[in-house]
Amino acid sequence: MRPRCSLYVDVGYLLSATAVRVTGTSFRNGIQVDYESLIDALVQQAEALSGLPVLRVHWYDSARDGVPDNQQQFIGELSNVKLRLGRFGREGQQKGVDLRIGLDLVTHARNGAADVFILVSGDDDLTEAVEEAQVHGVQVILLAVPDATDKPHAISRHLIRAADGLKTIFPETIDQTVTKIEVQGWRPRPKPAPLLEPGGTMFEDQADLTEQIDSVVSNVLATFRRSATAEALTELVAGRPSIPRDIDKALLTDLSDRRGGIDLNELVRHKLRTKFWEKYDEA
């Protein structure tokens, strides 16, 4: 078989990281993407990195009940693009996507489908699959989304150590194919007072947490308001106090990133969601 490379794209990572570069928050509904041009640019960069033609683009995303929406159907019908769908979890997290990527990496390596795998993801859960694929003679190169300073965004150190190399998507690729959705009508509000301990003593960590929560909620809510349709606004209010899963995921992801990637406990999650509705009511 003619030597080829193959491209594996974790869309959740790609879009949330891209949204951070473009809007400052991981809320992916706040951006508009020229998918065809973006995929073409990724293919060209993968071929340049590997020195080989791309066999196929494997596009991993989540969908409600595993049923593709119109945008996903369009992407799945592009030439040499294989759409692979997982499902949404209760809190908006992807379900089954990492498993599909990992299984495909190992199966394709075992079957000799390509000689070089280009992986657009930063997920630590893929480390073992990358190492298993390498056992079968495949080279695996990570292709990261650049942050605002053009450095790789949100890539697991374990994954970096396992891979054969780390490169960054050309910044101009993101800047030319992804734009921020702009809608008028949002007015930022002053920051609330920091949390105080009994007696009026402020804990530095509590103050930092309060400021981080306020900043994250302001950014996500502003991005949502810029991009929201009338239907989305109606759905948001109708579902109160629940928060739509895409917004909730952005809130949790952004706050975790602000706090160094740590897991958020239930108390912090509660503060974050409460602050969302407080700031929503302020506008």
Return the CATH number at 142: 3.40.50.1010
The pLDDT, as a whole number, for residue 190 is 41
Asked if residue 127 belongs to a domain, the reply is yes
For the chain, percent of residues with pLDDT exceeding 90: 69
The pLDDT, as a whole number, for residue 1 is 65
Look at the chain and report how many structural domains it folds into: 2
Asked if residue 199 belongs to a domain, the reply is no
Torsion of CA 95, 146, 223, 84, to 10 degrees: -30
My answer on whether 133 and 10 are in the same domain is yes
The pLDDT, as a whole number, for residue 65 is 79
Please give the residue range of the domain that contains residue 209.
204-282
- For residue 152, say if its preceding peptide bond is cis, omega within 30 degrees of 0: no
My answer on whether 29 and 156 are in the same domain is yes
Q: DSSP labels for 227-250?
A: H--HHHHHHHHHTTTS--HHHHHH
Listed in sequence order, the residues at least 6 apart from 9 whose beta carbon sits closer than 8 Å to its beta carbon are 42, 57, 58, 59, 60, 120, 121
My answer on whether 160 and 220 are in the same domain is no
Asked if residue 193 belongs to a domain, the reply is no
The pLDDT, as a whole number, for residue 200 is 41
Quote the CA–CA distance of 135 and 107 in Å, as a whole number. 12
- Confidence band (pLDDT; 50, 70, 90) for 235? confident
Which letter does DSSP use for residue 137 in this model?
T
Q: DSSP labels for 118-129?
A: EEE---GGGHHH
Q: What is the pLDDT of residues 129-148, one digit of tens each?
A: 999 999 999 999 999 999 99
What is the value of pTM for the model shown? 0.77
The predicted model gives 30-59 an average pLDDT of 96
The pLDDT, as a whole number, for residue 183 is 61
- Confidence band (pLDDT; 50, 70, 90) for 241? confident
My answer on whether 29 and 169 are in the same domain is yes
The pLDDT, as a whole number, for residue 192 is 43
Q: What is the pLDDT of residues 148-179, one digit of tens each?
A: 999 999 999 999 999 999 999 999 999 999 99
